[in-house]
Structure 1
């Protein structure tokens, strides 16, 4: 008997099919399960060999939103890859038409997407399908129109090119949880906006090395997507999140740049240029509230154009970072609220400095600002309570000023301290605590501002009165301290001298 030799791809295909837990029909069924009643989602399919192809998809939500996808077939077939059950590819150019209606106005949006080398992979089991998508290049062209009241017809057209695209979705232990990851090597875009045929602005941009991770647990809304009636009731109640909801978002980019040319009637256009080396943002929703943090490094802002009266205005910031946490749920106990801001090595162009310093007398070195605060607050009801007609009262109980530092124009200011508050007639009133401040270079800065003509005499007099009242000199030249004390009934003293 002659031995039977099978090609390697055939062997892998047989093994994959034998071990597969889902097939092409299961992938389509998972999409249709989003609308069990067939009220707002319509999917047209046809058989192709041992697979299935989605030839069109329509989504309609009342009169508010309609989406139609056509022009290409989304082909699903058993996978030859032993690690995956189903493979999908797009045959042709996807055409989408979207209409959004609200308050008598409508936005029409259409785009074409070319994804000739994209691959979509699926595995798992019905009801819990893991997905992965990858493509070397995706090109999207779009055209949007909106009639905007007294402005006129706004039309926006453009292209978006995405290279080295990779995304994945992994379901969690139940329908309300999961994880998504996204990676994009580079995004390049070009847009043009017009009003009644006249140029409004046009933009070219790029972003390198985009990374994003999204984790969620306890998102009850995801368990209701197939039940229109239950979903409507859930949204009407307004309680989209609760203390059991967990949501985490991490996002970062490499270098980025956006240049926008904005039309000026009767004059040459203005060019806005924004670029940076890296950016990062994070958000976290937990049983207490939400926290958000973001940062950008080596940010540069430029403006140019004949109508700009300043020569080459620009601002460079080595680091710009901000973060805050806000409680979302009612509690009888005091909850913490954080707010932070950092601006490091802020440089202004000579053209900007010349606006306030024509003589060149001011110290033009980099500016720095750091603010880090911790507030104690009481929330009288949760943000997501069904009783949305009630006002949300956020009572301020305390302020812990961990640091507030400013270094500018050759002067330095540093403030720390704590303040306790009571609520009187709905307003926070400081009733105890103390702020400690230290300042250096104040006298020299004021002298420079006077020499540069930036401060008129009446303002100089007011500043000197305030500094004399609030600041106490030390043994060091041009160095001051201050102790601001808060007492019962809103009493305030500065260095032992009552202010009110």
Structure 2
């Protein structure tokens, strides 16, 4: 199953769920026409028999189909009968069947045909369109929306009963989607749900292999905006971005949990996690791609036959962010990367394996990186052909012209290293640094507790005396004593001639 297959089901599912349509002038016929316009513009073909009178339009035998890329199959959604009813107050109610089958046909990696069906259902649901032509808001609510794997066959052989189960549910979902029609079809959306739950099970009838993956996130809220160009080709994502395709969305949740356990090759394993809230943001347009992920109060436990002891770790916060350009450019573009692991701890059982005599401090560990910069991407990241050429070629994929380290922090077992820095890079000079672009700039570093840590590691036998002595000599060469005990400071500079200077002394 390829990326377009996944996008196809995702687009169809959330279209049914949130009705991201536009153009409606709040007559029943025009709302149905807009559904067709929206779906055909994103690569689907739509069919159905429409008839109506008295402000009610009924469309029967509705079928939505999308071919997969490279003639690998199709996705077909059979929606049955839709009813569009004008309320006489400028709004239109839309009745969608409670059960909607979604069939797919594709091929696996070996070329074998794969067919199956997903079943989407929703209970106690309502959907209403309001607003004006070209500026329409769709409000949707459902007590329970559910997606379930109904069947699966490989090479015309039905999957054995209970071999694979997939269930996704969304409880008490409410969404509001406003759409505007212009040169681009734009939308803004808000969605809330009490909980999103997933339950995936696998049981191989020909072996003992089995697995169960369950989880949930509660108090879900999403907000997002987007734009789609007319006549967008789903197979040419790069061209769609160039023509105005864009996404910007954020998902937050109040708590989460997951549980994964099973047996593989005769060995059992189990994994469980919890968190007390989190956030995931995603943005994409013609210029850049960005992710921002954060979880709070995380707890993770793992155990397996091949592990000597159960593993338990936790952290107050875990985060990662990345923003990079996606298109080739002759001008510098911004990029950013960040990492935040706060108050990381592990169980005493693990500590006792590393440090049975408890000589090392059990202080929570922290790792922070906040860096921004400028550079040029030398190919179009989302063009599959150009990406493939970059993988097999000798040309570097990008050039970095500037890097600023706003914050660097690594602290654990009683010692810490922190710093900031700022560098530029001359990509025309790859001689001075033996094949690498010549840097110019500085980094300021502060290390606390290094000597005490070396003594403890040496006393535990984890670091040989010769290695500890070599580390102290290196610190003496590159650093100077700070104001507090067992504190070292260092400024490492690289000038325009490629000279490396430590605390005013040239060392290269």
| TM, length-normalised to structure 1 | 0.81
Number of matched pairs: 464
> Aligned partners of 2:438, 2:351: CA distance in 1, in Å?
38
- Cα 1:101/1:24, change in 2 over 3 Å: farther
1:61 aligns with 2:70: no
Q: 1:206 aligns with which of 216, 230, 255?
A: 216
How do residues 256-295 of structure 1 correspond to structure 2 at under 5 angstroms? 256-267=256-267, 269-285=268-284, 288-295=287-294
- Cα 1:176/1:475, change in 2 over 3 Å: closer
Q: 1:191 aligns with which of 200, 204, 216?
A: 200
Give CA-to-partner distance per residue, 1:453-500, whole Å, 9 cap, x none: 333445434433433332222454211111212134533233345444
Give CA-to-partner distance per residue, 1:255-300, whole Å, 9 cap, x none: 0101000313333x21101110111122334675333322111111
Q: For the pair shown, which has the larger CA radius of gyration, 1 or 2?
A: 1
Give CA-to-partner distance per residue, 1:242-264, whole Å, 9 cap, x none: 39655321211110101000313
How much does 1:429 deviate? Answer: 3.2
> Aligned partners of 1:495, 1:58: CA distance in 2, in Å?
69
Name whichever of 411-420 and 487-496 sits farther off: 487-496
Q: 2:106 aligns with which of 91, 94, 100?
A: 100
Match of residue 302 from structure 1: 301
Does the Cα contact within 8 Å between 1:43 and 1:54 map onto a contact in 2?
no
- Cα 1:243/1:491, change in 2 over 3 Å: farther
Match of residue 405 from structure 2: 401
Structure 2: 5+ residue stretches without partners? 1-23
Match of residue 255 from structure 2: 255
> Aligned partners of 1:167, 1:469: CA distance in 2, in Å?
62
> Aligned partners of 2:375, 2:206: CA distance in 1, in Å?
52
> Aligned partners of 1:61, 1:157: CA distance in 2, in Å?
25
Does the Cα contact within 8 Å between 2:119 and 2:150 map onto a contact in 1?
no
> Aligned partners of 1:155, 1:261: CA distance in 2, in Å?
16
Q: Output the aligned Cα RMSD.
A: 3.5
1:443 aligns with 2:451: yes
1:133 aligns with 2:140: yes
- Cα 1:475/1:430, change in 2 over 3 Å: same
- Cα 1:25/1:65, change in 2 over 3 Å: farther
> Aligned partners of 1:143, 1:207: CA distance in 2, in Å?
24
> Aligned partners of 2:154, 2:472: CA distance in 1, in Å?
55
Give CA-to-partner distance per residue, 1:54-102, whole Å, 9 cap, x none: 43424141632323334x64431415483622331425x3222222336
- Cα 1:183/1:476, change in 2 over 3 Å: closer
1:29 aligns with 2:38: no
| TM, length-normalised to structure 2 | 0.80
Does the Cα contact within 8 Å between 1:240 and 1:384 map onto a contact in 2?
no
> Aligned partners of 1:59, 1:81: CA distance in 2, in Å?
33
Q: 1:216 aligns with which of 220, 223, 226?
A: 226
Match of residue 455 from structure 1: 463
> Aligned partners of 2:382, 2:120: CA distance in 1, in Å?
38
Match of residue 17 from structure 2: none
How much does 1:133 deviate? Answer: 1.9
Match of residue 7 from structure 1: none
> Aligned partners of 1:383, 1:33: CA distance in 2, in Å?
30
Other structure's SS at 1:359 match: coil
Does the Cα contact within 8 Å between 1:421 and 1:428 map onto a contact in 2?
no
How do residues 421-440 of structure 1 correspond to structure 2 at under 5 angstroms? 421-423=425-427, 424-425=429-430, 428-440=436-448
Give CA-to-partner distance per residue, 1:171-190, whole Å, 9 cap, x none: 12424312222221112222
> Aligned partners of 1:163, 1:136: CA distance in 2, in Å?
6
- Cα 1:403/1:196, change in 2 over 3 Å: same
How do residues 320-469 of structure 1 correspond to structure 2 at under 5 angstroms? 320-380=318-378, 383=381, 388=386, 393-423=397-427, 424-425=429-430, 428-457=436-465, 459-469=467-477
- Cα 1:429/1:392, change in 2 over 3 Å: closer
